[in-house]
């Protein structure tokens, strides 16, 4: 696993690249959200420099994770497909200052040391992409229009009794 722990600043300075894929089962926080341990997350990092001179990591995370649809409670595959730019800072005060200097919501400023765990970043990103309340675009059982399966509401039952 040492391959995924890098010196963030050196990585950016040298324009290094790293890519790989990691099983969902090997990412415990993501696995806890998933309905199955199957699937994998693919990732790549490219070290570089922000136009304003800050060390910058470009991160791409893709893959599939199995979730449970909150409407029909059947499994659903959630696709992860994100591209993120991360600017590195040495500590929290520097991160705050950099954040203000950049004034760019699309860029995350993170504190990096000489042991930056890339997999941790991948897992954070994958977790962020997981919806709070995942739902199929159209549920296999016919989706929200499948109301007739539901038992009659008490009000409907009352109406029938009145007839
Ligand atoms: Zn569903």
Query: Which range is least confidently modeled, 35-39, 86-90, 104-108, 125-129?
Result: 35-39
- Residue 72 Cα to ligand 1 middle (Å): 4
Distance 141 CA to ligand 1 centre (A): 7
CA distance 56 to 13: 9
- SS percent in the chain: helix, strand, coil, step 5: 35, 35, 30
154 Cα: distance to centroid of ligand 1 (angstroms): 25
Rounded to whole angstroms, the Cα distance separating 143 from 116 reads 44
Q: What mean pLDDT comes out for the span 42-52?
A: 97
Domain boundaries, the chain: 2-162
pTM: 0.81
- Distance from residue 131's CA to the centre of ligand 1 (Å): 14
> What is the Å distance from ligand 1's center to 4 Cα?
36
Per-residue pLDDT, 146 = 45
């Amino acid at each position: 696993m040492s391959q995924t722990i890098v010196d963030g600043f050196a990585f950016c300075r040298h324009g290094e690249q790293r890519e790989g894929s990691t099983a969902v089962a090997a990412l415990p926080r993501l696995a806890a959200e998933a309905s199955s341990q199957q699937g994998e997350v693919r990732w790549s990092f490219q070290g570089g420099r922000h136009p304003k001179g800050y060390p910058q990591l470009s991160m791409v995370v893709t893959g599939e994770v199995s979730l449970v649809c909150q409407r029909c409670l059947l499994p659903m595959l959630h696709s992860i497909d994100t591209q993120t730019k991360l600017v590195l800072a040495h500590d929290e005060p520097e991160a705050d200052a950099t954040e203000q200097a950049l004034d760019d919501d699309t860029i995350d400023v993170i504190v990096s040391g000489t042991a930056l765990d890339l997999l941790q970043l991948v897992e954070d990103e994958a977790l962020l992409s997981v919806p709070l309340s995942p739902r199929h675009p159209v549920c296999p059982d016919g989706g929200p229009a499948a109301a007739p399966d539901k038992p009659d509401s008490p009000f409907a039952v009352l109406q029938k009794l009145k007839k």
